[in-house]
Chains A and B, each alone.
Chain A
Amino acid sequence: MSFFYLFAVLAVLFVVPFIYFRISTKTQSKKKTPILYGVVAYLLTTLSKMILMATFLPDSDQEEADFTAQFEPVSALITIVVSSLDVLGCFLALRACSGHTEVKIFGVSFAWSATETILSFFLVSWIGCLKPEFNWIYMQNALGSNINLLRQIAFTHIIWVLWKGKFQNPDKGNIFIWLSAFFITPELFKLSEVLLGKYFIFGWVLLVIKFAVAYQLYITSKKYFQSFEQLKNNKKKN
Chain B
Amino acid sequence: MKYLPRRSQLLLCFFILTLVYNLLHVKALETLPVYRLLHSEQISTTTGKTFIRGTTSASVPSSQTKTYFECVANLKKSSATLSQDTETERETEITPNNEQEEFVKCFKGTVAVFPLFSLLEFDISLFSEGGTCKGILIILPRDLLTTKTQEFVTFQNEEERESKEEIIKKLGQIESLLIEKEFRVPIYFINEDEVSHLFSFDNLNSENKANKQGSYNLKIVGKPGNKKKIKQVSSLEAWLPTDLDEEGKLKPTIIITANYDTFSISPALSSGLESGNNAVGVLVELSRLFKKLYSNPQTKGQYNLLFVLNSGSKQNYLGTKKWISSVDRKVLESVELVLCLDSLAIYDDDLESKRNNDLFIHYSNGGKVEVDKKVPMKFQSVSKLFGINAQTVTKKIMKNNPLISFEHEIFYRKKLKAITISNFQSYNQTIRKGSLLDLQKESNTNNNHMKTITTLIAEFLSKMIYKPQEQQQPIAIFENNFEPNNLVIQNINKMLLKYNRFSPFLEKDEQFLLNLENTFKSFGLDTKIESKKISLKKETYYYSGTQAKLTIFKVKSLLFEFFVFIISLIYLAGLYYILNGKKKTILEIKQLINNRKKKD
B-contacting residues of A (Cβ < 8 Å)?
1-2, 4-5, 7-9, 11-12, 15-16, 19-20, 23, 131-136, 139, 200-201, 204
Contact with A along B214-227 (1 / 0, CB 8 A): 00010100000000
Tell me the minimal C-beta distance from A102 to chain B in angstroms: 15
Which residues of chain A are near B579, meaning CB under 8 Å?
19-20, 23
A4 to B576, CA, bound (A): 21
For A5, the chain B residues whose CB sits under 8 A away are: 556, 561, 564-565
A2 proximity list for chain B (CB < 8 A)? 558, 561-562
Q: B587 on the interface (CB 8 Å rule)? A: no
B214 → A minimal CB distance (Å): 12
B231 at the interface (CB under 8 A from A): no
Among residues of A, the one whose C-beta sits closest to the C-beta of B560 is A134
**In the complex the two chains form, is A4's CB within 8 Å of B564's CB?**
yes
8 A-B Cβ contacts within 8 A?
A4-B565, A11-B565, A12-B571, A133-B28, A133-B217, A135-B29, A135-B553, A200-B24
Of A2, A9, A133, chain B has the most CB atoms within 10 Å of the CB of A133
Q: Are A204 and B62 in contact (CB under 8 A)?
A: no
A132–B28 touching, CB < 8 Å = no
Nearest B residue to A142 by beta-carbon distance? B568
Are B29 and A8 within 8 A (Cβ)?
Answer: no
Please, which residues of chain B bring their CB within 8 A of the CB of A136?
24, 28
Given A4-B561, A4-B564, A19-B579, A132-B555 contact (CB < 8 Å): yes
Majority secondary structure, B binding face:
helix
**Which residues between 46 and 92 of chain B lie within 8 Å of chain A, taking CB atoms?**
62
Q: Are B558 and A19 in contact, CB atoms less than 8 angstroms apart? A: no
Task: Tell me whether B553 and A134 are in contact (CB under 8 A).
Answer: yes
Let me know if B25 and A133 touch, CB within 8 A: no
- What residues of chain B lie closer than 8 Å to A135, measured between beta carbons? 28-29, 553
Residue B555 contacts which of A12, A20, A134 (CB distance < 8 angstroms)? A134
- Shortest beta-carbon distance, B525 to chain A, in Å? 40
| CB-nearest residue of chain B to A9 | B568
Q: For residue A4, which residues in chain B have a CB less than 8 angstroms away from its CB?
A: 558, 561-562, 564-565
Please indicate the chain B residues that have their CB under 8 angstroms from the CB of A7 in the complex: 565
Contacts of A1 in B (CB 8 A): 555
| Assembled-state Cα–Cα distance A1/B29 (Å) | 16
Given the known interface contacts A2-B561, A23-B579, the answer about A132 and B25 at a Cβ–Cβ threshold of 8 Å is no
Q: Which residues of A contact B25 (CB under 8 A)?
A: 200-201
For residue A89, give the distance in angstroms from its CB to the closest CB of chain B.
26
Interface residues of A, dominant DSSP: helix
Is B10 part of the contact surface with A, judged by Cβ < 8 Å?
A: no
Judging by beta carbons under 8 Å apart, are A12 and B568 in contact?
Answer: yes
The 8 A CB mask of B332-352 against A (1 = contact, 0 = none) is 000000000000000000000
**Closest chain A residue to B555 by CB distance?**
A132
Partner of A133, one of B62, B558, B565, B568: B62
Q: Please measure, in the bound complex, the distance between the C-alpha atom of A55 and the C-alpha atom of B29, giving whole angstroms.
A: 36
User: Given A12-B568, A20-B579, A201-B24, is A132 in contact with B561 using a C-beta cutoff of 8 Å?
Assistant: no
**A133 touching B564, Cβ below 8 Å:** no
Report the bound CA distance from A201 to B21 in whole Å.
9
* Min distance, Cβ A12 to any Cβ of chain B, angstroms: 5
Which of A8, A23, A200, A201 touches B580 (beta carbons < 8 Å)? A23
Please state if A16 and B27 are interface contacts (CB–CB under 8 Å): no
A121 to chain B: closest CB distance in Å? 15
List the A residue with the shortest CB-CB distance to B23: A136
Q: How far is the CB of B305 from chain A (nearest CB, A)?
A: 46
Among B24, B62, B560, B569, point to the contact of A11 (Cβ < 8 A): B569
**Cβ–Cβ contact B575 & A16, under 8 A:** yes
Q: Which of A8, A15, A23, A204 contacts B565 (CB 8 A)?
A: A8
CB distance B575 to A133 under 8 Å? no
Q: Which of B541-600 contact A (CB under 8 A)?
A: 551, 553-556, 558, 560-562, 564-565, 567-569, 571-572, 575-576, 579-580
Give the Cβ gap from A18 to chain B, nearest Cβ, in Å: 9
Q: Find out whether the CB atom of A11 lies under 8 angstroms from the CB atom of B555.
A: no
Q: Which residues of A contact B28 (CB under 8 A)?
A: 133-136, 200
CA A20 to CA B554, docked complex, whole Å: 36
Evaluate contact between A139 and B564: CB separation under 8 angstroms: yes
- Taking the closest CB of chain B, its distance from the CB of A140, in whole angstroms, is 10
Kindly list chain A residues whose C-beta atoms are within 8 Å of the C-beta of B575: 16, 19
Taken together as a complex, chains A and B put the C-alpha atoms of A200 and B250 apart, in Å, by 69
Task: Report the bound CA distance from A1 to B555 in whole Å.
Answer: 8
Q: Are A11 and B572 in contact (CB under 8 A)?
A: yes
- A132's partner among B24, B62, B572 (CB-CB below 8 A) is B62
Which A residues touch B556, using CB under 8 A?
5, 134
User: If the complex has contacts A15-B572, A16-B572, A19-B579, are A204 and B554 also in contact, measured as CB distance less than 8 A?
Assistant: no
A23 to B560, CA, bound (A): 32
Nearest neighbor of B63 in chain A, beta-carbon distance: A132
Q: How far is the CB of B215 from chain A (nearest CB, A)?
A: 9
A200 touching B27 in the complex, CB below 8 Å, given contacts A12-B568, A12-B572, A16-B575? yes
Extra contacts, 16 of them, besides A4-B558, A19-B576, A134-B553 (Cβ < 8 A), are A2-B558, A2-B561, A4-B564, A8-B568, A12-B572, A16-B572, A23-B579, A132-B62, A133-B217, A133-B219, A133-B553, A134-B555, A135-B29, A135-B553, A200-B27, A201-B24
B28, B217, B561, B569 interface centre (most CB from chain A within 10 Å): B561
CA distance A233 to B7 in the complex (A): 52
Interfacial chain A residues near B568, Cβ < 8 Å = 8-9, 11-12, 139
**How far apart sit A70 and B91, CA to CA, in the bound complex (Å)?**
66
- By Cβ-Cβ distance, the 9 closest A-B pairs, closest first, are A4-B561, A8-B568, A133-B553, A134-B556, A4-B565, A8-B565, A5-B561, A134-B28, A135-B28
Which among B554, B568, B576 has the greatest number of chain A C-beta atoms within 10 A?
B568
CB distance from B582 to the nearest CB of A (A): 14
B24 cross-chain contacts in A, Cβ below 8 A: 136, 200-201, 204
Rounded to whole angstroms, the CA-CA distance of A19 and B569 in the bound complex is 13
Q: Which residues of A contact B560 (CB under 8 A)?
A: 134
A116 to B: closest C-beta gap in Å:
19
B233 → chain A closest CB, angstroms? 30
User: Which residues of B lie under 8 Å from residue A201 when comparing CB positions?
Assistant: 24-25
**Minimal beta-carbon separation of A198 from chain B (angstroms):** 10
A23: chain B residues within 8 A (beta carbon)? 576, 579-580
**B564 contacts A8, CB within 8 Å?**
yes
Contacts of B27 in A (CB 8 A): 200
Contacts of B551 in A (CB 8 A): 133
B337 smallest CB distance to A (angstroms): 51
* Residue with the greatest number of chain B CB neighbours at <10 A, chosen from A5, A8, A139: A8
The complex places the Cα of A9 from the Cα of B219 at a distance, in Å, of: 24
B572:A133 contact, CB within 8 angstroms: no
**B476 CB to nearest chain A CB (Å):** 56
CB distance from B62 to the nearest CB of A (A): 6
**When chains A and B are docked, how far (Å) is the Cα of A215 from the Cα of B576?**
17
Q: How far is the CB of B225 from chain A (nearest CB, A)?
A: 16
Complex Cα–Cα for A174 and B25 (A): 40
Q: In the complex, what distance in Å separates the CA atom of A1 from the CA atom of B554?
A: 11
- Docked Cα-Cα span, A8 to B575, in Å, equals 15
Nearest CB in chain B to that of A11: its residue: B568
**Residue of B with least CB distance to A15:** B572
A2 vs chain B, min Cβ distance (A): 5
Q: Would you give the shortest CB distance from B257 to chain A, in whole angstroms?
A: 40
Least CB distance from A16 to B in Å reads 6
Chain B residues, CB < 8 A from A12: 568, 571-572
Which residue of chain B has the shortest Cβ distance to A131 in the bound complex?
B62
